[in-house]
Amino acid sequence: MTPSIFSIQHFCLQDGPGIRSMIFFKGCPLRCTWCQNPESWYAGPEVAFKSHLCIGCNLCMDNCPEQAIFRPGHRDPSRCTRCFSCVDHCPSRALEGFGKSYSIASIRDILRPEYPFYRDSGGGITFSGGEPSLYMNFIERLSGVLKEDGISITLETCGDFDPGIFYKRKKMPIGVIDDMPEPTNLCRPGFLKDVDLVLFDIKLVDDLRHRQFCGKGNTRIQTNLSNLATLAKIGGGPRVWPRMPVIPNITDTVDNLSGWADYLLKSGVFYLTLVPYHNLGSLKRIWLNITDGPVIPALKTEELEKTVQILTDYGISCFSPGEEDWQLSDR
Amino acid sequence: MEAISLRDGIPQKMAEKIYPMFQPFNEPTERIACIRADIQKTPYSICLERPLLIRQFRNSLNGKKAKSEHPLIRRAMMLSHILSNRVPRIYDNEFIIGNMTSKRVAANYYPEGGSVNIMEDLFRLKKRQVPIHLSFKETVQLGVIGVCTALSSVGGKALLRPGRVSHFLDFFRARRYFITEEAGIGHQVGNYRDVVENGLCRADHIAKACLDTGKLADGTFLSADQEAFFTSVRITIDGIKTMANHLSNAAEKEALKPGTDKIRKKELLNAANALRHVPYNPSRTFLEGLQACWLVHVAMNMEDFEQGMSFGRLDQILYPLYRKGIDDGSLAPETAVEMLASFQLKTCETMPIYSERIDQYFSGNGVAQGITIGGTDMLGNDVTNELSGLVLDAYSQIKTREPALHVRVHSGMPAWFLKKAVETVQLGCGKPSFFGDRAVVNALQEAGMSEAHARDYAVIGCVEMASQGRTYNSSDACLFNLPLCLELALNQGYSFMGNTVFKKRIGAATPPADAMIIFDNVVKAFKLQVAHAVDEMAKIISWLEKCYRIERPTPVNSILTEGCLEKGMDVTWGGGLYDLTSIQAAGLADTGDSLFALKKLVFDDGRFTLSDLAGILKNNFKGYEPLRQELVNRFPRYGNGHPDVDRMTQLAADVFSDAIRSHRNTRGGRYVPGIYSMTCHIGFGRQTGALPNGRLAGERLSNGLSPIDGSERNGPTAVLRSAAFLNSRKWSNCCALNIKFDKKTVQGKAGNQALSSMLRTYFDQGGMQVQVNVLDADMLREAKKDPSLYPGLVVRVAGYCAYFNDLQTDVQDEIIERTVHGIK
């Protein structure tokens, strides 16, 4: 599948060590109610409309090959082919297209001028989304190319991918001994071959609640997390660092926190980044004409402090994004 | 996968070994907090002591006698009169003694020029946005002084003459250029090393020997002018000595006052002793070194005017005395920090006088007394020392508008020092600013300096350049409106703005738009307009220079500048070893973006003819809003790492640099360009019509080397890439690049590492200068609404810092609006 990418950003300081550039892949298997990037849900291209920027010049109408626009901001989705002609003609950036495909070479060209900043700061590239693991082949090839340039790679994932890939083995020529370390028979998934760090997003530990708030169960996610943690421990995979969004009354309940704390400790992970909830995403929903999700109150400082306290009591070190101690070694 | 790179880790440990007292002293001691509070709560005022003393001198017997003397001697006698008759004032708690004005915080009044503009606000001093407190009597006195001296100022003498009226009007309107040299030259990094190591007595002895023998050191007989020069040096030094003595007496008197605290008494008596010794004699202790620098600095301020009087590389100059004190146990590091903090607080006693009209060009009440720290010696070896760190520690205790702090960045810079400098930046006061040694040294060599001298550079004021103690740089001679020249090039030398019937051509008569058929024609017309404006400007400056020789020579400055005593010449006569006049461009990014947009629209894509485009611009994009939006939003802009636009920006900079560099001043020195704009981009913007990059008529221009506000879409690293892409070799007066961060984005240890890395990479790529503002937009919005909320909030405006409340409303708006790089 050719991936669509909705944004490439430089100078990101909160998603892995050092100064990083982020590549946001479009498409996500989950639908978390609090999601702040609704433009990342669908894998296909989408057109967003920011009414406050529209100057009413009608250039979008005039240039639509399908005559799908009858008034600026009013588009017939059934006729729209997402050719982005309107986006390209909009002078004021009121129309924004999400989801373009890039070749590996062009991504490299965009990133290359930033290399010196990564190198000096110990930073690199972070794949995010959406869900980058939807495009395993592309990630594998892209990270291979970037690795050749000596760039460190981080991947952020919601963890919802096929756990089977931990068991798929390449056919070995006869006589070559499989070097997979014992005692497990896990193998490193191909798309994580050149990835140095996985930021693993966890949300709700309870399967039913996960279905309720994220639209899908979490069995695969939990399996993948413990598999990755095991791989990392035996040195057969990238480092895993969990992150959890702190959503008032949803993820910061005592049950959820203690459930995750147990699970993480059992998997041998004793650190966690807490991402405080903000509601900047609601504006993006309006631009994309998505009926607004449930209103979630802003996170209070006390609530965050309480969350930290509960997790710390379990022996989990909590960090805010960008302030992680990446040198922390596993027990 | 480790955040700490080798570069961060290893030198850090070494540094801790080499510098055992690596611990920061960030908390102000009680006495420093007291001095700071005193200064902060004092309302601004104007000190009339200097003009009154001048009048007293003119009416005195001596003054009448002076009229028949050589201009140099006349000036020295007057200066000496001012210095020796100022009333000494000792303030509580201070380590460093020597009042800058007769009030705690005030502006000196310079009847010679630079101050008369306050007359515009005379009847509403208290109602100004930044009120000035004067008693009724003082207001009347100010009015009388202003009226009586307005025509005798240097600017008046040079410009209010038959045949020069149109130039005067041109100067007054400040459209193509704003000639700041009219106010005074100021802007100097004197040879404070000499003051500390040898005292003023060295200059005094040289002058005496030359006068006694009637010869220069090399055996040449003295001319009448040279004789007058040496006499002026001796008279001036005598004045400084008297001032020091008066202060010494006052300190003694204060000490012997009944009820003075025992410790304070001892301190004051010590100070009295020191003041009898320095600055005439070599300094013996660290405190004496600071005291000597301060008194000479006061004398410099009394002499010319207040702008850009800088101290140079204090960490280098004072280090031997500091080391001596630490080694013999007479000085503790924490005391040294306290002394440095007290010294830095002294710089807050002064401010400039700007009327509200002038304020739009130089908002912020800064005079930029620069201290340069870090860097290399003449061979290029790193010479960062503990004192470099302590200067930053002292500043982080006080967080005030002055002084201006400058850190030199080079490849051999220890990691601990960069970390500490970034920590100071993270405090949110916009200080220090950073200078890349490689680019700066190259540019200074391009201006004719030897490599060794270029390596000993220090920053004048905000960003301007000098080899310390060797350079006479009229470094803020003039600010230049570069985009206006493009506007004139498209309209045969006429402005797009204003009256259409009775229009006067303000530029050169370049061909009409429809006669320009290739892009090179436009570039040529633009070059002609720039050259024309620079010619006119240089003509006015030459008149001023001639006046300065007679009316306003500067003996103190000459004592502090290498070359003068050797040649027997005042700096205004061309005595300095290196002599420069520097012109600054505003709106560079606007010009580059406009050239790019114009070329693409007209010559590459053929969407409009050039005369159509000129018509659209003349009508300020009326009826062409979609086009304007497209230009603003969809055209590549400088500051995004886009090589094609960056090349156009380079072209604009080169046209400007070449026009400037083709001139010589009347002292035989070179003209050099700089790329910074103070807040002139706002004042100039109001006078500039619509531009092909979609900027509307009257909007502010881009600031210094920074991209246009809001046009940087690829983050701060792309801005730095674009800036480092430009060839800065010709910019011998440096440049100012502003980047701002949301406080949240760059907080803590990770923020420190990211900023440090970003700076190192920028300077590795050949960057010249950058200043980093760490601010919180909400905080600023609140501060704008209610000025009493954050009285001490410091922001960096352009090359200098100011209290946010001192800024004009639209400058405040700009600071809030400026891209705050945060999370998307």
Q: What is the mean pLDDT of chain B?
A: 89
Q: Which residues are within 8 A (CB) of A58 and not within 5 positions of it... i.e. 6 or more apart? A: A72
Q: Is the pLDDT of residue A278 over 50?
A: yes
Nearest to A119 by CA among B457, B774, B761, B778: B761
**C-alpha B76 chain-centroid distance:** 26
Q: Which residues are within 8 A (CB) of A329 and not within 5 positions of it... i.e. 6 or more apart? A: none
- CA atoms of A325 and A127, how far apart (whole Å): 20
How many interface pairs between A and B have CB atoms less than 8 angstroms apart? 100
Q: Which residues of B728-754 are buried (b: 16+ CB within 10 A; e: fewer)?
A: bebbbbbbbbbbbbbbebbbeebbbbb
Which chain B residue shows the shortest CA-CA distance from A36?
Answer: B824
Domain ranges in chain A are: 5-39+101-330, 46-98
- B616: tokens are 């659209």
Residue-level pLDDT at A330: 55
SS3 (DSSP) at B811:
helix
When computed from its CA atoms, the radius of gyration of chain A, rounded to whole angstroms, is 21
Write the single-letter amino acid at A309. Answer: Q
- CA atoms of B558 and B226, how far apart (whole Å): 12
Share of chain B above pLDDT 70, in %: 92
Residue-level pLDDT at B266: 93
A197-201 and A152-157 strand pairing: parallel
- CA atoms of B101 and B117, how far apart (whole Å): 19
Residue-level pLDDT at A174: 61
- CA atoms of B736 and B704, how far apart (whole Å): 5
Write the single-letter amino acid at A238. Answer: P
- CA atoms of A88 and A74, how far apart (whole Å): 17
SS3 (DSSP) at B771:
strand
Pinpoint the alpha helices (H) of B360-436: 386-398, 415-424
Q: Among A59, A120, A323, select the one facing B760 at the smallest CB separation.
A: A120
Segment holding B23, helix H or strand E: none
**Local confidence band at B823 (pLDDT 50, 70, 90 cut-offs):** very low
Maximum Cα–Cα distance for chain B, whole Å?
86
Which chain B residue shows the shortest CA-CA distance from A278?
Answer: B823
- CA atoms of A16 and A155, how far apart (whole Å): 9
Residue-level pLDDT at A184: 55
Q: Which residues are within 8 A (CB) of B320 and not within 5 positions of it... i.e. 6 or more apart? A: none
**Local confidence band at B819 (pLDDT 50, 70, 90 cut-offs):** very low
- A228: tokens are 């990755």
Q: Is the pLDDT of residue A175 over 70?
A: no
Q: What is the pLDDT of residues B426-445, one digit of tens each?
A: 988 888 999 999 999 999 99
Do residues B485 and B340 touch, judged by C-beta distance below 8 A? no
Mutate to test the interface with B, among A7, A13, A194 (most CBs of B within 10 A): A13
In chain B, which residues have their Cβ closer than 8 Å to the Cβ of A117? 717, 757-758, 761
- CA atoms of B476 and B308, how far apart (whole Å): 9
**C-alpha B478 chain-centroid distance:** 12
In chain A, which residues have their Cβ closer than 8 Å to the Cβ of B627? 91
- CA atoms of A131 and A121, how far apart (whole Å): 26
- CA atoms of A271 and A218, how far apart (whole Å): 20
Q: What is the pLDDT of residues B744-793, one digit of tens each?
A: 677 788 889 999 999 999 999 999 999 988 877 777 777 777 776 665 56
Q: Which residues on chain A place their C-beta less than 8 Å from a C-beta of chain B? A: 7, 9-11, 13-14, 17-19, 55, 57, 59, 91-93, 113-114, 116-117, 119-123, 152, 196-197, 239, 322-324, 326-327
Which chain B residue shows the shortest CA-CA distance from A122?
Answer: B3
Pinpoint the alpha helices (H) of B118-223: 136-149, 154-159, 165-173, 192-197, 201-213
Highest mean pLDDT of the ranges B115-129, B367-381, B809-823? B367-381
Instruction: Inspect the interface and report whether the beta carbons of B754 and A18 lie closer than 8 Å.
Output: yes
In chain B, which residues have their Cβ closer than 8 Å to the Cβ of A18? 3, 753-754, 757
Nearest to B281 by CA among B244, B317, B314, B251: B244
Q: Is the pLDDT of residue A214 over 80?
A: yes
Instruction: Inspect the interface and report whether the beta carbons of B758 and A14 lie closer than 8 Å.
Output: no
**Local confidence band at B6 (pLDDT 50, 70, 90 cut-offs):** very low
Residues in chain B: 824
Q: Looking at residues A70-97, what average pLDDT do you find?
A: 90
Residues in chain A: 331
- CA atoms of A16 and A122, how far apart (whole Å): 10
Handedness of CA B520, B526, B527, B528 (dihedral sign): positive
Q: Looking at residues B239-248, what average pLDDT do you find?
A: 96
Question: Which whole-number Å values give the CA distances from B768 to B439, B453, B728, B736, B765, in the listed order?
Answer: 5, 18, 7, 9, 9
In chain B, which residues have their Cβ closer than 8 Å to the Cβ of A13? 745-746, 750-751, 754
- CA atoms of B273 and B589, how far apart (whole Å): 55
Q: Among A17, A55, A121, select the one facing B629 at the smallest CB separation.
A: A55
Q: Looking at residues A323-327, what average pLDDT do you find?
A: 85
- CA atoms of B296 and B83, how far apart (whole Å): 11
Residue-level pLDDT at B19: 45
Mutate to test the interface with B, among A7, A11, A111 (most CBs of B within 10 A): A11
Question: Count of alpha carbons within 13 Å of B65, Cβ hemisphere only?
Answer: 7
- CA atoms of B175 and B552, how far apart (whole Å): 27
- CA atoms of A188 and A229, how far apart (whole Å): 11
Q: Is the pLDDT of residue B16 over 60?
A: no
**Local confidence band at A51 (pLDDT 50, 70, 90 cut-offs):** confident
Mutate to test the interface with A, among B646, B713, B717 (most CBs of A within 10 A): B717
SS3 (DSSP) at A317:
strand
- CA atoms of B276 and B97, how far apart (whole Å): 12
Q: What is the pLDDT of residues A123-146, one digit of tens each?
A: 999 999 889 999 999 999 999 999
- CA atoms of B434 and B437, how far apart (whole Å): 9
| DSSP-assigned beta bridge partners for residue B474 | B581
Q: Among B627, B641, B754, select the one facing A121 at the smallest CB separation.
A: B754
Q: Is the pLDDT of residue B798 over 70?
A: no
Q: Looking at residues B189-217, what average pLDDT do you find?
A: 95
Maximum Cα–Cα distance for chain A, whole Å?
71
- CA atoms of B490 and B693, how far apart (whole Å): 14
SS3 (DSSP) at B165:
helix
A271-276 and A317-319 strand pairing: parallel
Do residues B733 and B700 touch, judged by C-beta distance below 8 A? no
| Cβ atoms within 10 Å, residue B21 | 15
Q: Looking at residues A242-249, what average pLDDT do you find?
A: 92
Residue-level pLDDT at A1: 61
Question: Which whole-number Å values give the CA distances from B28 to B338, B340, B583, B791, in the listed order?
Answer: 8, 11, 40, 18
Residue-level pLDDT at B73: 96
Superfamily in which the A5-39+101-330 domain is placed by CATH: Aldolase class I (3.20.20.70)
For the domain spanning A46-98, the CATH number is 3.30.70.20
Question: Which whole-number Å values give the CA distances from B745 to A122, A210, B646, B740, B750, in the listed order?
Answer: 18, 31, 27, 10, 10
Q: What is the pLDDT of residues B433-484, one digit of tens each?
A: 999 999 999 999 999 999 999 999 999 998 999 999 999 999 999 999 999 9
- CA atoms of A259 and A249, how far apart (whole Å): 15
Handedness of CA B314, B319, B320, B325 (dihedral sign): positive
Q: Looking at residues B634-653, what average pLDDT do you find?
A: 95
What secondary structure does DSSP assign to B702-738, as a single string?
Answer: --TTSPPTT---SHHHHHHHHHHHS--TT-TT-B--E
Q: Is the pLDDT of residue A177 over 90?
A: no
Question: Which whole-number Å values give the CA distances from B756 to B423, B519, B710, in the listed order?
Answer: 10, 42, 24
Residue-level pLDDT at B12: 43
Residue-level pLDDT at A68: 92
Min Cα separation A147/chain B (Å): 13
A124-129 and A152-157 strand pairing: parallel
Burial class (CB in 10 A: 0-12, 13-18, 19+), A85: middle
Q: Looking at residues B183-190, what average pLDDT do you find?
A: 90
Question: Which whole-number Å values give the CA distances from B702 to B201, B480, B762, in the listed order?
Answer: 48, 13, 21
- CA atoms of B459 and B745, how far apart (whole Å): 29
- CA atoms of B390 and B83, how far apart (whole Å): 32
Instruction: Inspect the interface and report whether the beta carbons of A10 and B633 lie closer than 8 Å.
Output: no
- CA atoms of B336 and B286, how far apart (whole Å): 8
